[in-house]
Amino acid sequence: MDLTTAPPPELVRVAPEDLYADYARGRPREGEKADAYQWAKVLDVSSNWVPPRYRKAHEMPAKARAWADGIVAGADASNLVLMGPPGTGKTHGSCAVARYLTALWEDRHAPSPLLFTSASDLLARMKDYGKDADRQGAYDKAAKAKVLILDDLARSKTTDMDVESYARVLDRRLNALLPTIITTNVFPKENLIETFGDHLASRLLGGSTLVLVGGPDRRYATT
């Protein structure tokens, strides 16, 4: 499957800056939907938990938005998996949808409803060195965040212990009905199962919404 030549997914935009401007003035625009106003209100908060490059991310695949809307409407939380080649907007989309979800989902909690971590950073923190309390703290943070973005689950150098660490986090989150957004360059689904094994793949993919993100590498767009 060559996703680099496939068209990008349909994108929807959910964070017009003018809503933010209304929030800065301290009032919703007349006739503006309350949920849109609420969304703008938490931009301040949730933006602090994603890397600066993605703090203004506001475009997401339509299918990802539908996933978030389902959870807001009361569906059991599940995973959202954005798969595709480098530079196609998976991390951007994941941050946009996570901010949208943390803003609208009534099960969110302040002050840190959203945790963004690269998958390899999380592994490093959960690895067998440093203090026990630090390792447990990293696991707890990832396991308990109301919305977790696990960014860039990579195909390379994933040991059995790494796979087990990811599975531990996902297992705990699935049992607690907490949504996780995963981005990965490993696709399609069959490759993901082959790379990570049945045990982890089942926790990644079971009941999840999968979005194939195609298109050219956006990082080269300005060069």
Ligand X SMILES: Nc1ncnc2c1ncn2[C@@H]1O[C@H](COP(=O)(O)OP(=O)(O)OP(=O)(O)O)[C@@H](O)[C@H]1O
Round to whole Å and give the CA distance between 96 and 99.
Answer: 5
CB of 24 to Mg ion, least distance (A): 30
Burial-class residue 43 by CB neighbours within 10 Å (0-12, 13-18, 19+): buried
Q: Single out the segment in contact with ligand X by CB under 6 A; choices: 35-43, 73-81, 86-94, 106-114.
A: 86-94
Should residue 117 be labelled a site residue for Mg ion when binding is judged by CB under 5 A?
no
- Should residue 185 be labelled a site residue for ligand X when binding is judged by CB under 6 A? yes
Binding span for ligand X by CB under 6 A among 25-33, 81-89, 163-171, 203-211: 81-89
Interactions with ligand X, residue window 131-170 (CB under 6 A): 152
From the list 85-93, 127-135, 157-165, 167-175, the region that binds ligand X by CB under 6 A is 85-93
Closest CA to 19 of 48, 55, 51, 58: 58
Decide: 104 and 72 in contact? Cβ < 8 Å.
Answer: yes
| C-alpha distances out from residue 122 to 28, 93, 141, 152, 173, Å | 38, 20, 10, 11, 15
- Report helix, strand or coil for 53: helix
Please state the closest distance from residue 72 (CB atom) to ligand X, in A: 21
Distance of closest approach, residue 58 Cβ to ligand X, in angstroms: 8
Our CA angle for 88, 36, 63, nearest 5°, is: 35
Subset of 37-76 contacting ligand X (CB under 6 A): 53, 59
Nearer to ligand X, 10 or 132 (CB): 10
Query: CB under 5 A: which stretch of 23-31, 84-92, 104-112, 134-142 binds Mg ion?
Result: 84-92
Residue 214 is a binding residue for ligand X (CB under 6 A)? no
Q: How far is the CB of 18 from ligand X (least distance, A)?
A: 17
* 3-state SS string for 62-74: HHHHHHHHHHHCC
Other CB atoms within a 10 A radius of the CB of residue 54 amount to: 20
Measured torsion, CA atoms of residues 57, 105, 205, 9, in degrees rounded to the nearest 10: -40
Q: Does 91 bind Mg ion (CB under 5 A)?
A: yes
Query: Quick check: 216 binds ligand X (CB under 6 A)?
Result: no
Interacting residues with ligand X between 3 and 22 (CB under 6 A): 11
Binding site for ligand X (CB under 6 A): 11, 53, 59, 86-92, 152, 183, 185, 218-219
Summarize as ranges the residues that interact with Mg ion (CB under 5 A): 91
